Chains A and B, each alone.
Chain A
């Protein structure tokens, strides 16, 4: 079965640079979520989209933005990168109805030097 695809899998950037992470949800899923997981920490919710509209917002810094496109893929844009942005970034997708289970991608490991 098709899974959530994330690209790139690894990304190295320098401080103050920008980064764009991409997520391709499972076909026919209408909701996409972004999570950030720092070293040794639990995943933290950043933002979600339902039918291409932002549906919920968590602890996403103002330097980050995201959108969902007409083909349902989503991109997380990160600007003015800081060392503390180094983390695993997961994308998940789901149907909007119950029981709401989310399917996660393999993640993008971002390293900021």
Chain B
């Protein structure tokens, strides 16, 4: 199982952009980079995924380094509802997630 490294916690002011980094230096060529988030007492929620190219969706953007050894989840305007634990996960088969510790994001009003 490929490992990821994320900061334990980050803070952001409301309505400002947030950049959540993830290092995955042992990523293989077929690993997909997934981001999930979990609000307190709720199930993890899919945010975005990518393979090689940067990706955008209605929730966030995903910037993937050229060597794919790191990625950054970008929330363009943080809201209080974005306060959650964000997990960066690598997948190359339909198997188990290894959640790691994730980044706890605090949004300051």
Q: Do A and B come together as binding partners? A: yes
Give A contacts to B, CB under 8 Å.
Answer: 4, 31, 33, 35, 42-45, 48, 50, 55-56, 58, 88, 90, 92, 94-107, 109
Complex formed: what's the CA distance from A49 to B82 in Å? 32
21 contacts between A and B (CB under 8 A): A4-B43, A33-B96, A42-B87, A43-B38, A43-B44, A43-B97, A44-B99, A48-B95, A50-B94, A56-B96, A88-B41, A90-B44, A92-B97, A94-B94, A96-B94, A99-B34, A100-B32, A101-B46, A101-B49, A102-B46, A106-B43
- Residue B20, interface by CB 8 Å: no
4 residue pairs, one from A and one from B, having the closest CB atoms: A104-B43, A45-B96, A42-B99, A99-B32
A102 in contact with B49 (CB, 8 Å):
no
Tell me which of B32, B38, B46, B49 contacts A103 (CB under 8 A). Answer: B46
Give B contacts to A, CB under 8 Å.
Answer: 32, 34, 38, 41-46, 49, 51, 87, 91-102
A4: chain B residues within 8 A (beta carbon) = 43
Known: A99-B91, A101-B34. A45 touches B98 (CB 8 A): yes
Q: Name A107's closest neighbour in chain B (CB-CB).
A: B43
Complex formed: what's the CA distance from A88 to B45 in Å? 15
B97: chain A residues within 8 A (beta carbon) = 33, 35, 43, 45, 92, 102
Tell me which of B32, B91, B96, B100 contacts A42 (CB under 8 A). Answer: B100
Instruction: Please indicate which of the listed interface residues A33, A44, A88, A101 has the most CB atoms of chain B within 10 Å of its own CB.
Output: A101
Interface of B is mostly: loop
B45: chain A residues within 8 A (beta carbon) = 104
Complex formed: what's the CA distance from A43 to B98 in Å? 8
B51: chain A residues within 8 A (beta carbon) = 99
Known: A50-B94, A95-B94, A101-B34. A107 touches B42 (CB 8 A): yes
A105 in contact with B34 (CB, 8 Å):
no
A48 in contact with B96 (CB, 8 Å):
yes
B38: chain A residues within 8 A (beta carbon) = 43
B101 in contact with A42 (CB, 8 Å):
yes
CB distance from A31 to the nearest CB of B (A): 5
Complex formed: what's the CA distance from A6 to B94 in Å? 21
